[in-house]
């Protein structure tokens, strides 16, 4: 019974702290963070669903109206490297962040 309470407590502390392993390690008295994570860090269904929603909103979010600079004219079939770099330079920070993530994965 005691271990079950300890197990639940550590799991919920991890969830409430946003995954702050070192803080929870301090309250539970575990010698290493690995022991705490390997034993108590379970995937909580609500956290998994919330993470999925946040990812979906961030990844699939569309701008309300595309920037006129970002949309090439209909008669342009190609774009020069200079023009592309200029578009990237002037892109909004969210687009730059998404591009960085896409390039790093």
Query: Does the pLDDT of residue 70 top 80, yes or no?
Result: no
Average pLDDT, the chain: 78
pLDDT bucket at 19, cuts 50 / 70 / 90: confident
Domain coordinates in residue numbering, the chain: 2-59, 62-104
d(CA 95, CA 63): 10
Residue 63 pLDDT > 70: no
How does residue 85 score in pLDDT terms, banded at 50, 70 and 90?
Answer: confident
């Amino acid at each position: 019974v005691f271990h079950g309470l300890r197990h639940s407590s550590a799991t919920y502390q991890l969830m409430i702290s946003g995954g702050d392993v070192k803080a929870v390690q301090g309250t539970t008295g575990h010698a290493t963070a690995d022991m705490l994570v390997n034993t108590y860090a379970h995937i909580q269904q609500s956290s998994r669903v919330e993470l999925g929603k946040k990812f979906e909103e961030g990844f699939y979010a569309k701008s309300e109206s595309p920037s006129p600079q970002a949309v090439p004219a209909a008669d342009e079939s190609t774009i020069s490297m200079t023009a592309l770099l200029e578009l990237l330079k002037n892109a909004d920070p969210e687009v730059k962040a998404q591009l960085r993530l896409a390039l790093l994965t």
